[in-house]
Amino acid sequence: MMYKKYGKVFKKLRLQKNFNLSEFERCGINKSIISRFETGKTMISFENLYMALTELNISLAEYDRALNNFSADDVNIIIDKILNAERKQEVFKLKQLYNTCINENLFMLSIAVKSKFNILSISEIDTLRILLFDVEIWGYYELSVFFLTLEEFNEPYILQTIKRIIHQNNHINFIEFSYKRRLFEILYKASAFFSTRGDERSARFLLDTYSIEEIGDDLYINNIRNITIGVYLYYFKNKEFGKKRIVSALNIFKELNQEVYFKYYKKKIAEILE
């Protein structure tokens, strides 16, 4: 039922305005039409939707906004919960969120969450690869799915996908805050990934994609950048320099009482630096 959310949002708005179904009969809409629309059983005709919204004193533009904001917000909350549970390694919560994704028809995200408590099958990875390959507009949802599953793909695919994402976001300063963070998380996670595989060129390319000026004064991004530079130095230049840079960045998380980030990145680094 791809039209389920249309009815759901309509119902929210109707209840907000204290309307019952019979009240639409004065503009000639049978109440069962509204009922089946709200419960996602059938779609409503455009004329009837327009008349019903007019009765509620809601413009089409307003309805459209409610449609997108409500659903997008809900999904963003789920994404943030997933990342939080992943950072804290809360397997039970991740499994709960996996079920939420299934119920909300968030197919790509459901596979992404699953990868955090289970090994994905080859067909699941393949499906995800194909779905992400078809993405033309990279939103927060698609970026987050890719961020969560990056290490499941091979090197050329990762690089090619990141280049497509960067191509879409060449005006980094106009990008919304949380979107920008996710973009940098991808770049630096991938850079560290290439460092561990000895691909200096790719690791460097990802680090140099955006300059410090372009990042601005976002402490979180600067910190994960320093960790990533540390990993790069560790693998290609000088192990001691690299470690020092990583440790000082980690300590900033600690000083800022960002215990969750401190522990999470410390653990990740321990895995990477053997």
Binding stretches for DNA (CB under 7 A): 20-22, 28-33, 35-36, 38-39, 41-45, 47-48
Whether residue 115 contacts residue 127, with contact meaning beta carbons closer than 8 Å, is answered with: no
Burial class (CB in 10 A: 0-12, 13-18, 19+), 145: buried
Taking the CB of residue 89, how many other CB atoms lie within 10 A of it? Answer: 13
Q: Least Å distance between CB 46 and DNA? A: 8
Residues 6+ apart with CB under 8 A from 114: 98, 120, 124
CB of residue 75 to DNA, shortest distance in Å: 23
Which CB, 10 or 147, lies closer to DNA? 10
CB of 36 to DNA, least distance (A): 5
Instruction: Identify which of residues 4 and 87 has a Cβ nearer to DNA in the complex.
Output: 4
Min CB(58)–DNA separation in Å = 17
Query: Cβ closer to DNA: 35 or 222?
Result: 35
Q: 105 to each of 18, 108, 109, 110, how far by Cα in Å?
A: 29, 9, 9, 8
Nearer to DNA by Cβ, of 36 and 243: the residue is 36
CA angle 128, 130, 132 (to 5 degrees): 65
